[in-house]
Amino acid sequence: MTELFYLSATEMLALLRAKEISAVELAEAHLRRIDEVNGEVNAIVTLVADQALEQARALDDGLARGHWQGPLHGLPIAYKDLTDTAGIRTTYGSPLFAGNVPGQDEPLVRRARAAGAVTVGKTNTPEFGTGSHTVNEVFGATRNPYDLTRSAGGSSGGAAAALASGMVPLADGSDMGGSLRNPASFCNVVGLRPTPGRVPDDSATAAWYTLSVAGPMARTVSDAALLMSVIAGFAPTSPFAIREDGSIFAGPLEPDVAGLRVAWSPDLGGLPVDPETAEVTARAPGVLAGLGAKVERVDLDLSDAEDAFRIYRAWYYAATFGDLPQERLGANVAWNVEQGRKVTGADLARAERLRSGLFQRMNAFFDDHDVLLAPVSQVPPFPVEQPYVTEVAGVAMPDYLAWMRSAYWISVLHAPAASVPCGFTPGGLPVGVQIVARPWADRTVLKTAYAFEQATGEGAVRPAFRGR
């Protein structure tokens, strides 16, 4: 029998509705699981057990009077330590904010709370979400549940590891250059980078910045869609918020992809890919073809995304973190700020031209293809003590960003993209595949990911370790 904490969120909801379990029992099961495994994994960095049980009791009392709170009624959730949560310590992974307790929730937290989610704590992230390896000076490194000597990815690595090890059924994440997708790939879970504007932000410093988005993470595609149905939707605090209600993601996902036009790119135009990663992801096109999709291998040139991403990212770091004491920032954040201070008006103009041209070319590309299939990350999970990947398939990486081009080139496209479990290396390390669609076609991404998930069953493979 599957342990309660490893049921899907939708299965948990069915048990709650039928009153076969209570919200308190569900919260207690997850709190016990956190106690068992978090000491080794280090995914939950701030735990609010008493608050979780209080929320759960209130939900049970309400249900006894016939009140069902909402789509997430009774489901435990942990929020990324970049996501402001009222009354709960939120450090952003930085010693500068080690004692920070926000006074209000971010929009997605407000929506999840209102829908009945039970907050159990905060998940680990690198400082200010900088980098695809979750380690910081406040809490240390998060370890991969499938191999505790390996990285859980980042920057939503705490969320991915917590999901994979059964600490929570739902989590949020954020993604500028792959921070929802990379850790999902590394930890055999699902991460969706939505179209910018789907999940609105209320930033007072970078409200027009479209490279960074928030999105859902879960163990199954249906559970990710469930969370998306709650956190998505228009809000006037975001200048490019999409005027579509999140309920469009609430309907059932069908595994029928017959006739879907799939473009398969094994290397996104010549990027180096680790042989073990390449071997696993090479299975993906055959899975969709076996379901009746029309799969075509394509040669893409997304290289214009390189400079566009780096220029916009550098500008963002200088604008957002440039006023902080640089000597107290970690090396990755300080480097990004330094790069941002070098950005000129001519650089920004070039980035805009590159991104605009790429957008129009990919718009034409998606007239002929429904989805793009590609690797999420160019490598499998690497040793946890290693700061970042320095070489991919024998090719040296110039800096700590370069090994994630397969993810951050996609970020530049303004497109929705999901990481869904694809399989395992011979050493048992998870590898995800990336499903991308044209802007605003988030449901197409989820539908394709669901069909792939149901056909392979790879996402149901749980870590071998059981904790203490």
H runs (alpha helix) in 65-156: 107-114
Mark whether 179 is an active-site residue: yes
Mark whether 155 is an active-site residue: yes
Return the CA Rg of the chain: 21
Query: Under DSSP, is residue 191 helix (H, G, I), strand (E, B) or coil?
Result: strand
Check 155, 156, 165, 377 and give the catalytic one: 155
How is 244-272 classified by DSSP, letter by letter? S-GGGG-SPPP---TT-EEEE-SSTTT--
Residues 186, 154: Cα–Cα separation, whole Å: 9
Angle of the 221-231 helix axis to the 9-17 helix axis, nearest 10: 70
**Burial class of residue 137 (count of CB atoms within 10 Å of its CB; 0-12, 13-18, 19+):** middle
Q: Which token pair is 446? A: 């989820």
Query: Under DSSP, is residue 218 helix (H, G, I), strand (E, B) or coil?
Result: strand
What are the residues whose beta carbons fall under 8 Å from the beta carbon of 455, sequence distance 6 or more?
A: 255, 287, 290, 291
Check 179, 185, 238, 411 and give the catalytic one: 179
**Burial class of residue 243 (count of CB atoms within 10 Å of its CB; 0-12, 13-18, 19+):** exposed
How is 374-394 classified by DSSP, letter by letter? EES-SS---BTT-SS--EETT
Closest among 275, 285, 305, 291 to 374, alpha carbons compared: 285
Check 22, 80, 151, 265 and give the catalytic one: 80
Residue labelled with tokens 């040793």: 383
Residue labelled with tokens 């709170």: 69
Q: Which residues are catalytic?
A: 80, 155, 179
